[in-house]
Amino acid sequence: MDRRDFIASLGAATVASHLPMWAADAPVSSSRITLLHTNDTHSHIEPFGPGNGPISGLGGVARRATLVRQLRQQLGSVLLLDAGDTFQGTPYFNRYKGRLDYQLMRRLGYDAGTLGNHDFDNGVAMLVEAMESMEQLKHPNPPFAFVNCNFDFKGTPTLGRRVQPYLIREFPGIRVGITGVGVAFAGLVTPKNHEGLTWKDPYESLQPVVKRLREVEKADLVVVLSHLGYDMKGTAPDDLLMPGQVAGIDAIIGGHSHTFLDAPTRVPQVKGETLIFQVGFGGVNLGRMDFAVARGAIRSASGSSMPVLG
């Protein structure tokens, strides 16, 4: 063996002997998932016209569809979610009673949504009709799911069987649990429009569901679609107080208060943190939160609000 071969063999031996240690020290390869989300779209099928201040020219379902399609192609593991109040706000709602909104959401490939107060504006029967029209649409995308854990549907079985307390979606290396909560009806929905439905405390309703998602369903990422509002200043349960009341939530996708946030609000938890996000209303923005998960724990989380432009 000449000197060069000797050094080469030494190098190889050194590399080999260090390999197991390097492998252990190497960063764990993480799996990534992106949550795309809207809230309070309020039947804004078309972009906002001129004269709407800072939101003039923004929004529109067709442009949102393009943005979502581009992001799905780029990112791979994507969930498209909505935090409620799909109904009410333009002549499209008066004409189509929410059927158009839900059908378009299915065409865009929404995975799940929750119910806001305005989704009851025409009563339970009309809400169910809009859901049925979305289910019956002939389209390659499956019907999207409705999630809520704080409404008691005992008196409205036709609606109850269309809303599930939570949903599990599996991606390579990540299990995502998604649940939802709605705002109290008092003062927002007339009693005849929510006949058969009872509202329950959202925090108390979430606690066992989130625990189940973590411990039984083994979700790596727990997401709450919330139509409670961002900051109700202590007058009602809200998104800002939720992380202190319910442990184990990674992301709250909010609605109801039409709050424009540029990036998620981060609330530290005993273990990890909760990201709270809401992107205004009317579909002018698309929210985006990215999570990297490795060995069942979240390694990084970030987010931004993306304007829906032409």
Residues at the interface with Zn ion (CB under 5 A): 40, 85
Please say whether the beta carbons of 36 and 176 come within 8 A: no
CB closer to Zn ion out of 112 and 228 = 228
CB closer to Zn ion out of 88 and 205 = 88
Rounded Cα–Cα distance for residues 61 and 261 (Å): 20
Rounded Cα–Cα distance for residues 168 and 147 (Å): 11
Three-class SS state of 108: helix
Closest CA to 217 of 167, 148, 291, 163: 167
Report the nearest approach of Zn ion to the CB of residue 31 (Å). Answer: 34
Contacts with 13 (C-beta within 8 Å, 6 or more apart), sequence order? none
Three-class SS state of 267: strand
Three-class SS state of 163: strand
CB closer to Zn ion out of 77 and 86 = 86
CB closer to Zn ion out of 85 and 239 = 85
Report the nearest approach of Zn ion to the CB of residue 258 (Å). Answer: 6
Report the nearest approach of Zn ion to the CB of residue 85 (Å). Answer: 3
CB closer to Zn ion out of 84 and 177 = 84
Three-class SS state of 6: helix
